[in-house]
Amino acid sequence: TDAHYLRGEIYNGRKDWKNAAADYSSVAERGPGRYAERALQQAGRISYFELKDYPAAERHFTRLKEVAVKPEIRLDAMRGLLRSQYMQEKWNEAVPNAEELLREKSLNADDRALATMVQAKSLQASGRYAEALTRWRSVVSAGNAAFAAEARYSIAECHFLLNDLKNAEK
């Protein structure tokens, strides 16, 4: 375990993401231990940001959320899990995590907007357009330009699906 963890740290320092993720995953698979939390966090981050392997990132962040001792590590796991599920369009699976994340006091505006987007996408996917509209409007008012642009499009789409063509066009 020590050797895999230390080699993972070396690969991570060299930006050899594939080998770093493999070693961190190996450490994480061994279960609880002194390196488990950091190995899961690093494996999740590398899988998400560097390798764009969202299913692997989801697995690592799910386990990290379960074993994290420090509140900031657990919050990081919740963020990573939500982002991974978002990228895979797993709206229904992401909603409970989004709601849990929204209850966190130290949540930043971007995380709040992403969690609200997940709720809106889930509502829209299930045909609950009127409820989705309120969530989309919250995303627009949150201020993140990229999220707001997608929310505005989805607002128009919801109005269109509700046959409210005047507001859809607007």
- Mean pLDDT on 154-166: 96
* pLDDT tens string 114-134: 999 999 999 999 999 999 999
Mean pLDDT rounded to a whole number for the chain: 95
Per-residue pLDDT, 49: 98
CA distances from 149 to 37, 76, 140 (A): 36, 25, 8
Which pLDDT score is estimated for 106? 87
Q: Of how many residues is the chain composed?
A: 170
- What whole-number distance in Å separates Cα of residue 46 and Cα of residue 24? 10
**Closest Cα to residue 62, out of 33, 100, 34, 18?**
100
Integer Cα distance of 86 and 56 in angstroms? 14
Q: What pLDDT does residue 32 have?
A: 86
- Residue 144, pLDDT > 90, answer no
CB 92 within 8 A of CB 61: no
Give the pLDDT score at 31: 83
pLDDT per residue as tens digits for the range 12-57:
999 999 999 999 999 999 988 899 999 999 999 999 999 999 999 9
Residue 89: the pLDDT is 96
pLDDT in tens, 50-108: 999 999 999 999 999 999 999 999 999 999 999 999 999 999 999 999 999 999 998 99
